[in-house]
Structure 1
Amino acid sequence: MNSALVTAAELAGLLEGPTPPVLLDVRWQLSAAKANGEPAFDGRAEYERGHLPGAVHVDLDRELAGPPGEGGRHPLPDLGVLAAALRRAGVSAGRPVVAYDGGIGWGAARAWWLLRWAGHQDVRVLDGGLPAWRGPLAEGPEPAPEEGDFQPEPGGMPVVDAAGAAELAREGLLLDARAGERYRGEVEPVDPVGGHIPGAVSAPTSLNVGPDGRFRPLGELAARYAELGAAKEGARVGVYCGSGVSAAQEVLALELVGIRAALYPGSWSEWVADPSRPVAKG
């Protein structure tokens, strides 16, 4: 397995090779809803304005997540829905996949994590996303690639539920990938309650990338997570965020420095759906 990242220059070379990767456009951002309840950010519209040639748009809210509810705002998707979306995009078990987004790595990392969790062995994220690409862009509706044969087989990446996250916070290391002010409970723009899971440690995903949206050098990432305690021998590490999207970027950053971390897919939005669960602030 190669690095979980690929540079724009490396990707250009792969696309010219004998087995070009399937390209997934997973542009998404956390934003307020319009008055009619639809997301304010339209990933498909962004895709049609310009995308990597041959890429297929995958909708994070509808295809890479299940319907919001007690399981959180972005619970794990129905396997049938996920399989259909990936096969429509041309994903097959024996063909490499590269996911990209608008640059911060959240949407692409969600696709990377889901594919790895579902058993695909060769998935990478375009470092820096679309802004890092220097080649031509295509416009308009997506192509119709030959349908893939990928069949999800969950278990390729570790997950924890609410009880498992609480246990990690007590006896292991549970990282909160949200912005520090949301962790502290000073503001909460999305979920009904602010704060964090008691015992969790603040580790915002914004610190994983530089101003250009590319991941920081491995030495810097390794030092960051060593300081947080993730590099200790035998350490059990888990990550959560608001709804399991940005936390996937943190799991990716940890993977880059050789630390396997479990994802809490329901994350904070599931945690606070049960008022009996404790909330810490500050």
Structure 2
Amino acid sequence: MEGKAVLFKQFGGVDAVPICLDTQDVDEIVAVVTALAPSFGGINLEDISAPRCFEIERRLDEALPIPIFHDDQHGTAIVVLAALRNAAALLDRKLGDLRVVISGAGAAGVAVAKMLFAGGVSAGDTVVCDSRGIIHRGRPDLGATKAELAELTNSAGRTGGIVEALAGADVLIGVSGGQIAEEAVAAMAPGGIVFALANPTPEVHPDVAARHAAVVATGRSDFPNQINNVLAFPGIFRGALDARATAVTDGMKVAAADAIAGVVAEALSADAIVPSPLDPRVAPAVAAAVAAAARRDGVARA
């Protein structure tokens, strides 16, 4: 948490105070954050697991007139959208034509799915898998969040597990930590895209993924195309604070993704679909885009 506060300051010029709460109770967390909120211009939630993270963020959003942002969800999702935009551009593909598989239906997986839909990926052509297999309308074990995903996604009604999901798919986005066999990746459509983001052990090793995919990204710093949240959160909060935004809207998140993608858009290669996490151009570009989007979306007070 202290390290993240340093990154806020270094890249976004945002003063951040790490506060750790010794509770996992939703009501307690909401009550404490609400009581602390008058001292802060925004709240960055961290390390709260699904499904409680969804309710906590929703309740705080409704209760407080400042930006609430759960980085484990939205930071990852924003950078994934930026990377997928550039990967699709590099391969001369359109986001709406891609068949996407998301492995993982926790906080990051749900947020990635919703972010991709907001950015132009077809929800019907997206399949989300959890530890029990493909999420589909006929599954009896779905909670509220997964039931919502089942209604939005998988219009073909696919069933089974990750192997069945990946057959013929164009994109794999791994945010689960579960291992995926090479044979399943090999069954994807030719010229595919694999983002295996579990860290330190990706769902499929990048060297293995590269045998079958045209573009590969990971969450690790020792391989190309690191999907790192630091590309998003400092600039998002800088822009939201500059606009005195009352919330972080979907439009602001999409604008952040577009800005991240734009930093390297003129020099794309299979090994460079996102900027380096240390690229000093990223946070100012994201901040400007987010502030402008806040004004467009009617949540800015400056």
Provide the TM-score with structure 2 as the length reference. 0.28
Greater relative CO (CA pairs within 8 A, separation 6+): 1
Larger helix proportion of the pair: 2
Provide the TM-score with structure 1 as the length reference. 0.29
